[in-house]
């Protein structure tokens, strides 16, 4: 039986460590800390009141990645599926914590463990030299924890923005590529779309992209673009204090709106509900959504993401901004699971609760 570990399990956990590992053992003090104050989950495999194995996962606060820190199976319990069962339990628990991917380190000479991880879907991505007490290297491995997180299964390909202010073009490009797989994604295209859709100014730096400008960029490339956004408020103007810059933002938005009305781009002055969004997604449309970045990154800025999947608990989004300084990779920004209620809160930006969703689908042949 697999269950969550308790403080009463500590003596058996320490005994298991001594039987399974010659070096780098966890102490009773470490187990006590992890069970009481550590940001971790610890599951044990209990067979007739005797611990046959455990798995320990560490969660990284404010990131969507977890670390499978340790897996131990008693010698007499090996070859019976115990390790695989423990890993499945910790992966499910991590997914329920909103984790995007699981990473781990394994002794470079532990062929049995490496083979198990490979069979369970983990892939090598790095080697860490002189990692263990015996100076052996560690093989670093990673696995996405849901089908929507796997690049080869997601209906939406990934493209990371290359500049701080190009989340809109990057999100639009991912949606465009999903609808037209032959499209080549490049930095040239990213910058071209930014020039077409920018609001010129925003906060203290370059402007991001207006929902109206992004809708026009998609329309001019032959896609059916349907926009859900207000017309009576100037988007992003509250982020700029200088009145001259504010006037520029007003003029740009007015120009975008005039072109939208002239071309007949469908526009609805209302918030698109999540049930409607999911229904349209399942019909083949790809939603590009404006969110408040604060709930995702802690930054109080408007931010564009693309929706890549739905299930009963989560909406999956591709986050175009890869913060390499925080150890992120495309894997950690691909198909981030966001609980339905949390995603609904994300979809309103600023004190005026501004919103925008751009639904893209294939245009008429």
Structure tokens at 197: 């859709």
Q: Which residue has the higher pLDDT, 82 or 203?
A: 82
Task: Tell me which range, 90-94, 141-145, 231-235, 348-352, is most confidently predicted by mean pLDDT.
Answer: 90-94
Q: Please name which of 155, 115, 163, 169 lies closest in space to residue 139, comparing C-alpha atoms.
A: 115
Total residues found in the chain within this entry: 365
Round to whole Å and give the CA distance between 232 and 30. 58
For the segment 198-221, what is each residue's pLDDT rounded down to a tens digit? 987 765 567 788 999 999 999 999
* DSSP conformation class of 263: H
| Inter-CA distances, 177 with 157, 165, 180, 273, 275, Å | 7, 20, 5, 25, 24
In three-state secondary structure terms, 298 is coil
| Percent of the chain whose pLDDT exceeds 90 | 52
Round to whole Å and give the CA distance between 112 and 106. 10
84-109 average pLDDT score: 89
Q: The pTM is what?
A: 0.68
Specify the pLDDT at position 150: 58
For the segment 323-355, what is each residue's pLDDT rounded down to a tens digit? 765 555 666 677 777 878 888 988 988 778 889
The dotted CATH code for 2-145 is 3.40.630.30
Contact (CB, 8 A) for 359 and 228: yes
Q: Is the pLDDT of residue 140 over 80?
A: yes
Q: Which residue has the higher pLDDT, 145 or 297?
A: 145
| Inter-CA distances, 99 with 69, 90, 104, 336, Å | 15, 11, 14, 8
Q: Is the pLDDT of residue 149 over 60?
A: no
CATH topology of domain 167-362: Cathepsin B; Chain A (3.90.70)
Cite the residue boundaries of each domain of the chain with CATH code 3.40.630.30. Answer: 2-145
Cite the residue boundaries of each domain of the chain with CATH code 3.90.70.10. Answer: 167-362
């Amino acid at each position: 039986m697999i269950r969550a570990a308790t403080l009463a399990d500590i003596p058996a956990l320490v005994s298991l460590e001594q039987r399974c590992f010659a070096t780098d053992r966890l102490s009773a003090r470490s187990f006590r800390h992890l069970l009481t104050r550590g940001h971790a989950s610890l599951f044990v495999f209990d067979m007739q009141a005797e611990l046959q194995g455990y798995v320990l996962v560490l969660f990284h606060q404010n990131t969507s990645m977890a670390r499978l820190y340790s897996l131990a199976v008693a010698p007499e319990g090996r070859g019976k599926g115990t390790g695989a069962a423990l890993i499945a339990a910790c992966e499910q628990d991590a997914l329920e914590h909103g984790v995007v991917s699981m990473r781990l380190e394994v002794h470079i000479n532990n062929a049995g463990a490496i083979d198990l991880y490979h069979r369970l879907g983990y892939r090598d991505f790095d080697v860490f030299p002189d990692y263990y007490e015996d100076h052996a290297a560690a093989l670093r491995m990673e696995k996405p924890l849901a089908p929507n997180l796997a690049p080869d299964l997601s209906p939406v390909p990934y493209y990371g923005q290359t500049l701080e202010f190009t989340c809109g073009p990057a999100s639009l490009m991912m949606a465009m590529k999903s609808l037209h797989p032959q499209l080549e994604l490049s930095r040239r295209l990213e910058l071209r779309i930014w020039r077409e859709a920018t609001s010129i100014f925003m906060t203290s730096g370059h402007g991001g992209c207006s929902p109206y400008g992004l809708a026009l960029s998609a329309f001019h490339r032959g896609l059916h673009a349907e926009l859900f956004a207000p017309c009576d408020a100037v988007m992003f103007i509250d982020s700029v204090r200088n009145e001259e810059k504010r006037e520029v933002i007003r003029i740009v938005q007015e120009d975008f709106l005039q072109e939208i009305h002239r071309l007949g781009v469908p526009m609805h002055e209302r918030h698109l509900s999540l049930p409607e969004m999911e229904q349209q997604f399942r019909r083949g449309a790809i939603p590009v959504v404006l969110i408040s970045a604060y709930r995702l990154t802690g930054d109080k800025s408007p931010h564009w993401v693309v929706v890549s999947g739905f299930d009963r608990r989560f909406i999956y989004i591709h986050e175009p901004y890869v913060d390499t300084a925080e150890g992120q990779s495309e894997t950690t920004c691909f198909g981030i699971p966001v609980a339905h209620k949390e995603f609904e809160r994300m979809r309103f930006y600023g004190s005026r609760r501004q919103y925008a969703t751009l639904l893209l689908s294939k245009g008429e042949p």
